[in-house]
Amino acid sequence: MEADRTRLSDIEVQILDLERSLSALHGEKEVVQERLDSYRYPVLTLPNETVSEIFVHFLPIYPFCPPLVGVLSPTTLTHICRKWREVALATPMLWRAIKLSDTVTFERQVQISDLWIRRSCSSPLSVFMHRSAISAEMIPALIAHRARWEHLNLHILSPSPSMIDGPMPLLRHLDLSTAKMDEDVTFHEVPLLRTVILTGCYTSRITLPWVQLTSLTLNSVVPDQCVPILQQTASLVHCHLYLWVFDDSEVFDPPNITLPCLESLSFNPNCDSVTEFLECFIVPALLTLEIPESFLGSAPIQSLESFISKSGCSLQDVCITGARRVHEDSYRTAFPSIPNFSFPGRYIWETADDEDEDDSEDESDSEDDDNSE
């Protein structure tokens, strides 16, 4: 009995000691918690305007579009904390670039695109639509905000006139690629449109305010279709032509094309020669020319001299693409006033000369062997 009373007394003493220790720990915990509660993370002390600007720089530079889903989507910013969600939802510029992607189901794309359009408020829109990633259900929601389109990339099988039949007062950039075109398409009321990229052989069925364009790219277009368009583009500053030649035997005799403001002109390097095409250009303000040597005919230097003389231009940069039969030194000697020449293609005569030398050496060795026998 006495031993139990002694043990019980010892236990009570230990309990009192532990309770005092526990009380001290509770007190220390409260102090630490108060200190933590009073601490503000530096990033959370930034003004909302600064956080909003940082968020905008998290995304690809507009008009390039972020993915609809994933860690690089602006939606990610709404999942970090309450403040960031509030800032992200109050920043229309985060939601203004929409790329319909085939990595997301059609139903999900309809939901996301509709949500982003609402969040973008009245901001101008950059819209990218690809034929493999759009369904009929998506079109009405996007068309309803056609007046806000600023950058439009439309890569579809065949554009419907209803998609673009209406004012687009903010449209500055149009990239249209089609595999076929069943009806003529006309862009009305696009006063700010300056840059156009057209891909496909149906440019003759597209009507645009050509005279106001400053940059034009024609992809996979036959030369005959280029001429009537270029004759209407007097304000062009930059022109890129990626020609498609069906039949080299066809006679191509284009009229003159005068582009008084044109500063850069380029032709695609992977096309059969159209030697007559360069001759029709009169471009007095031209500074930069990129052209395959095959486009310059059998006498490239003389053709280039004739082109410069006819246009009266002062070229500063000339890039001769494709395989060359004229050495780069010959170009530089013939045109000392052009400060910058570049030649990304190979000089085929060097290869031919080397092969001839190798053949001569082989023949010489063979003759020596025969004589020794």
pTM (2 d.p.) = 0.81
3-state SS, residue 291:
strand
Q: How many CA atoms lie less than 13 Å away from 31 in the CB half-sphere? A: 6
User: Is pLDDT of 61 > 90?
Assistant: yes
pLDDT digits (tens, 9 = 90+) for 101-126: 777 888 888 899 999 999 999 999 99
Confidence of residue 183 (pLDDT cuts 50, 70, 90): confident
According to DSSP, the residues that pair with 266 across neighbouring strands are 240, 290
> Please, are residues 331 and 289 in contact by the beta-carbon 8 Å criterion?
no
Beta strands in 179-309 (DSSP E): 185-186, 195-199, 206-207, 215-221, 238-243, 257-258, 264-267, 281-282, 288-292
Token pair 């032509």: residue: 241
Specify the pLDDT at position 359: 46
Axis crossing angle, helix 82-89 with helix 48-58, rounded to the nearest 10: 80
Q: Are strands 125-130 and 149-156 parallel, antiparallel or unpaired?
A: parallel
User: Is pLDDT of 201 > 90?
Assistant: no
Question: Is the peptide bond prior to 63 cis by the omega test (within 30 degrees of 0)?
Answer: yes
Burial 309-320 (b: 16+ CB within 10 A, else e): ebbebebeebbb
Side chain identity at residue 341, one-letter code: F
pLDDT digits (tens, 9 = 90+) for 277-326: 888 999 999 999 999 998 898 899 999 999 999 999 999 999 999 899 99
- Please state, in angstroms and rounded to a whole number, the distance separating the CA atoms of residues 31 and 42: 22
pLDDT digits (tens, 9 = 90+) for 251-268: 567 899 999 999 999 998
Q: Are strands 317-321 and 238-243 parallel, antiparallel or unpaired?
A: unpaired
Specify the pLDDT at position 367: 46
